[in-house]
Amino acid sequence: MDQHESTYKPGSRTAKWWDERLPVMRMMHGQFVDFPTPRNLNYFWTFGGILTFCLAIQLVSGIVLAMHYIPSADLAFDSVERIRRDVNYGWLIRSMHAVGASMFFFAVYVHIFRGLYYGSYKAPREVLWIIGVLIYLVMMATAFLGYTLPWGQMSFWGATVITNFFSAIPLVGSTVVTWLWGGYSVTGTTLNRFYSLHYLLPFVIAGLVVLHIWALHVAGQNNPTGVEIKTKSDSVPMSPFAVMKDLFALGVFAMLFAWFVFYAPDYLGHADNYVEANPLVTPPHIVPEWYFLPFYAILRAVPSKLGGVVLMFAAVAILAFVSWLDTSRVRSTKYRPVYRWFFWLFVITCLALGYLGAKPAEGVYVFWARIFTFYYFAHFLLVMPIVGLIETPKPLPRSITEAVLGKGAGAGSPVAAAASPEKR
| First CA to last CA distance, the chain | 34
Say how far apart CA 141 and CA 103 lie, in whole Å: 16
In the complex, least distance from residue 37 CB atom to another protein, rounded to whole angstroms: 11
In the complex, least distance from residue 275 CB atom to another protein, rounded to whole angstroms: 5
Among 102, 120, 221, 373, binds another protein (CB under 8 A): 102
Secondary structure, 3-state, 127-174: HHHHHHHHHHHHHHHHHHHHHHCCCEHHHHHHHHHHHHHHHHCCCCHH
Number of neighbouring beta carbons within 10 Å of residue 104: 23
In the complex, least distance from residue 17 CB atom to another protein, rounded to whole angstroms: 33
Among 21, 85, 423, 424, binds another protein (CB under 8 A): 85
Among 22, 63, 345, 351, binds another protein (CB under 8 A): 351
Among 1, 22, 244, 389, binds another protein (CB under 8 A): 244
**Burial, 309: exposed, middle or buried (Cβ in 10 Å; 0-12, 13-18, 19+)?**
buried
**DSSP state, residue 37:** E
For position 10 contacting another protein by CB under 8 A, the verdict is: no
The answer for residues whose C-beta is within 8 angstroms of residue 75's C-beta and 6 or more apart is none
If the CB atoms of residues 202 and 288 are measured against another protein, the closer one turns out to be 288
Binding mask 290-319 for another protein (x = CB under 8 A): xx-x--------------------------
Say how far apart CA 58 and CA 391 lie, in whole Å: 43
What letter represents residue 234's amino acid?
D
What letter represents residue 388's amino acid?
G
Binding mask 385-404 for another protein (x = CB under 8 A): ------------------xx
In the complex, least distance from residue 254 CB atom to another protein, rounded to whole angstroms: 5
For position 271 contacting another protein by CB under 8 A, the verdict is: yes
For position 166 contacting another protein by CB under 8 A, the verdict is: no
Cβ-contact 393, 334 below 8 angstroms: no
Stretch that binds another protein, among 186-194, 204-212, 270-278, 367-375 (CB under 8 A): 270-278
Binding mask 32-71 for another protein (x = CB under 8 A): -------x--xxx---------------------------
Say how far apart CA 20 and CA 28 lie, in whole Å: 15
In the complex, least distance from residue 200 CB atom to another protein, rounded to whole angstroms: 27
If the CB atoms of residues 208 and 410 are measured against another protein, the closer one turns out to be 410
In whole angstroms, how far apart are CA 226 and each of 117, 223, 383?
10, 5, 20
The angle subtended at Cα 229 by Cα 223 and Cα 232, nearest 5°, is: 125
For position 363 contacting another protein by CB under 8 A, the verdict is: no
Selection from 334, 333, 327 nearest residue 380 by Cα: 327
For position 255 contacting another protein by CB under 8 A, the verdict is: yes
Please work out the total of residues on this chain that contact another protein, with binding judged by CB under 8 A: 69
For position 97 contacting another protein by CB under 8 A, the verdict is: no
Angle between helices 24-32 and 13-21 (to 10 degrees): 90
Number of neighbouring beta carbons within 10 Å of residue 210: 10
If the CB atoms of residues 28 and 351 are measured against another protein, the closer one turns out to be 351
In the complex, least distance from residue 18 CB atom to another protein, rounded to whole angstroms: 30
Chain mean position to CA 316: 11
Say how far apart CA 196 and CA 6 lie, in whole Å: 40
For position 279 contacting another protein by CB under 8 A, the verdict is: no
For position 115 contacting another protein by CB under 8 A, the verdict is: no
For position 24 contacting another protein by CB under 8 A, the verdict is: no
The answer for residues whose C-beta is within 8 angstroms of residue 255's C-beta and 6 or more apart is none
What letter represents residue 272's amino acid?
D
Residues that bind another protein (CB under 8 A): 39, 42-44, 81, 84-85, 91-92, 95, 102, 106, 109-110, 113-114, 117, 224, 236, 240-241, 244-245, 247-248, 251-252, 254-255, 258-272, 274-275, 284-285, 287-291, 293, 334, 340, 344, 347, 350-351, 354-355, 357-360, 403-405
